A = this chain, B = another copy of it.
Amino acid sequence: MEISFANRVGSIRPSAIRELLKLTQQPGVISFAGGHPAPESFPIEEMKKISIKVLEEQGRSALQYSATEGYKPLREFIAKRMKNSGIEVEPDQILITNGSQQGLDFSGKLFINEGDVIICESPSYVGALNAFRAYMPKFVEVPMDDEGMKIGELEKALEQNPKAKFIYVVPTFQNPTGRTMSLERRKKLVQLATQYGVLILEDNPYAELRFEGEEIPAIKHFDKDGIVIYLGTFSKTFCPGLRIGWVAASNEIIRKYVLAKQGADLQANTMSQMELYKFLEEYDFDEHVRKIREIYIKRRNAMLETMKVEFPDNLKYTYPNGGLFTWVELPKGIDAEEILKKSIDQKVAFVPGSSFYPNGGNENCFRLNYGTMPEDLIVEGVKRLGKVLRAL
């Protein structure tokens, strides 16, 4: 029998990265592909103690259904931490989600009618683009430079699309480019969005992973009218396997996210929320994040220093001050997918850049993640990749 799927199914694409991950799981492959955090950073011993405590003290609650909004002490912790970083938000304005990916899906579900415009950075996070695609938007891309979205181009995009549903940004250590939007542009972004009455969806998974330079306030810090929806996650600062992220938004908006969560899967994992909270309560989270940063600084240095030596001179790439990614631009006309094939022969994997552009093109770029591999393998992998690139 012919299966008649909904029209939106034609828009859903397999994640290039998740498909690639299957390849990179072959033994011996040096992977710069996934967005995986360093497993060395996972607090396994602490988790053992915590699991026992949660089960002993609250076992029946931990294994039972719980509130759709999420575990209240966890929401209170998040609100407090956000306040400390300059964002005014109440616990009741927070919904716990399965990683920030679920916040992206809900954002599509709650705002996008078929054909609606979403404004995004060019390039942008492919997982977000795929989540939005299920709701069939039109993507309008705003070019970037090293300070993030070009504001003149953003204003043009808003002028031409005043009914855009939201502006999607990863302002800090962006996935895929590693770039950070400057303070000045953040202010202008909020000002323009307010002027045009368009929401901002701020996706902020990497901000805590700053290696150097001064902290820049989140875009939501500048939000006086509740036009910024903020997505956070513990996937990069704790453990992604527990799938815990959150949405923070105005009362009116968060209520709709809660309804979306009810219909989608009732609630986040009760036990994992309690375990995470127990960790936050009993250990020094800032110290834990500091340790993670130290791992990544070394890896960023290993990758970027080796790239400087081993990559041909005609390549451009970003120098990230935090997060997990650097972004490489090959000369026009060279296809990163072809490079990937040759690179896989040398057992090195990365993600070609084209899928980060919602409307395609830009085949000459690729993304490298320095977060997953130890330094010696990073050096070795970049060397091999350098050979492939110099052979062109």
Name A's B-contacting residues (CB within 8 A).
1-9, 12-15, 18, 34-37, 39, 42, 44, 47-48, 51-52, 55-56, 59-66, 68, 97-99, 101-102, 105, 109-113, 116, 127, 130-131, 133-135, 163, 165, 194, 197, 199, 225-227, 235, 239-243, 252-253, 256, 259-260, 262-272
Contact = CB atoms under 8 A, between A and B. Distances in A.
Contact of A240 (B12, B64, B111, B134): B64
Contact of A18 (B9, B48, B262): B262
B110 A9 contact: yes
A48 B51 contact: yes
A264 B105 CA distance: 5
A55 B235 CA distance: 17
Contacts of A239: 63-64, 271
A52 B51 contact: yes
Contacts of A47: 55, 59, 63
Contacts of A243: 265-270
B110 A5 contact: yes
Contacts of A269: 98, 241-243, 269, 272
B44 A59 contact: yes
Given A42-B59, A127-B266, A243-B268, 16 more contacts: A2-B197, A6-B109, A6-B113, A9-B259, A13-B259, A15-B262, A47-B63, A61-B241, A97-B265, A101-B266, A102-B264, A130-B263, A243-B266, A243-B270, A269-B272, A272-B272
A200 to B, nearest CB: 12
B39 A6 contact: no
A138 B107 CA distance: 24
Which residue, of A1, A13, A240, A260, has the highest number of chain B Cβ atoms within 10 A? A1
B44 A241 contact: no
Contact of A39 (B4, B60, B256): B60
A239 B54 CA distance: 15
